[in-house]
Amino acid sequence: MNYLTYLPVFSKLTKSQQDILTRSAFIRQFSKNDILHNGSQDCTGLILVLCGQLRAFTISDDGREITMYRLFERDICLFSASCIMNSIQFDITITAEKDTEVLVIPPEIYKSIMEVSAPLANYTNEVMASRFSDVMWLIDQIMWKSFDKRLAGFLLNEANIEGTDTLKITHEAIGNHLGNPREVVTRMLKYFVNEKLISLSRGTIKIIDKNGLEKIINR
């Protein structure tokens, strides 16, 4: 099985480009909470998620976090290979949120093909535009959406990703996703409990009124 065929652009490359990629790409396994890529210190390479789940986030000078986007099966991460482009002047950290298997394409290999291949350069453009859209959505959220709406949306999205209404996640982890202190998360969760939207127990948040959370988002 050549996992590179997961890339929609693979079939548009020349035979020799396909061979170079196939020879140089390699599989790596990560356990939950492992760090795959750590800001500008690394140029890990292009990462194609084979199974599992990754989280891409930025960290403030004093260690606070906010999630930029998540990556799921068949998603590709470009910014783990930020050295392929001069103009990428920011750092992203990537961790495994579940046990994860990825295909890594070494950055210098990808770059050398991208420089001569219009299909691969255009594919890279589309991947970057897609992440750009995620980040523009994020700006819209943090600028204009009140925290109750953001938290309600986060809980519904988590339930959707995990396929369960019983979420095993700490208040601190939610704060790291949304860029807010733990206390702010705890206070709003307690408000949701009072409104009978969720129930809380140690390390677990149970959604009991999905419609109610959706109403908060749209009010």
**Does residue 128 bind a second copy (CB under 8 A)?**
yes
Instruction: Closer to a second copy by CB, 28 or 149: give it.
Output: 149
- Taking the least distance from each CB to a second copy, the nearer of 181 and 203 is 181
Q: How many beta carbons lie within 10 A of that of residue 118, not counting itself? A: 9
Query: If binding is defined by CB under 8 A, does position 172 make contact with a second copy?
Result: no
Does 218 help bind a second copy (rule: CB under 8 A)? no
CA-angle at 39, arms to 7 and 8, nearest 5°: 5
Q: Under the criterion CB under 8 A, does residue 11 sit at the interface with a second copy? A: no
Which residues 58-97 are close enough to bind a second copy by CB under 8 A?
58, 60-62, 64, 66, 85-90
Per CB under 8 A, the list member of 132, 181, 190, 209 interacting with a second copy is 132
Query: Is residue 133 involved in binding a second copy (CB under 8 A)?
Result: yes
Q: How far is the CB of 105 from a second copy (least distance, A)?
A: 16
Of 28 and 70, the one with the shorter C-beta distance to a second copy is 70
Question: Residue 191, Cα to own-chain centre: how many angstroms?
Answer: 28
The CA distance from 40 to 43, in Å, is: 7
**Amino acid in the structure at residue 172:** E
Q: Please tell me whether residue 137 binds a second copy under the rule CB under 8 A.
A: yes
At 158, list the tokens. 């988590």
How far is residue 107's CA from residue 100's CA, in Å, rounded to a whole number? Answer: 20
| End-to-end CA, the chain | 48
Q: Which residue, among 99, 96, 9, has the nearest Cα to 44 in the 3D structure?
A: 96
153 C-beta neighbours (distance < 10 Å), count: 17
Question: Out of 117, 147, 173, 186, which residue is the one contacting a second copy (CB under 8 A)?
Answer: 117
| E-state strands within 120-217 | 166-168, 198-201, 204-207
Segment 16 to 55, residues that bind a second copy, using CB under 8 A: none
Please, what is the minimum distance in Å from the beta carbon of residue 184 to a second copy?
Answer: 13
**Total number of residues that touch a second copy (CB under 8 A):** 39
One of 114, 197, 213, 216 touching a second copy (CB under 8 A): 114
Distances (CA, A) of 186 to 97, 151, 167, 172, 203: 22, 11, 15, 9, 12
Q: Which of 2, 125, 164, 199 binds a second copy (CB under 8 A)?
A: 125
Chain residues in the site for a second copy (CB under 8 A)? 58, 60-62, 64, 66, 85-90, 114-118, 121-122, 124-133, 135-140, 142-144, 179
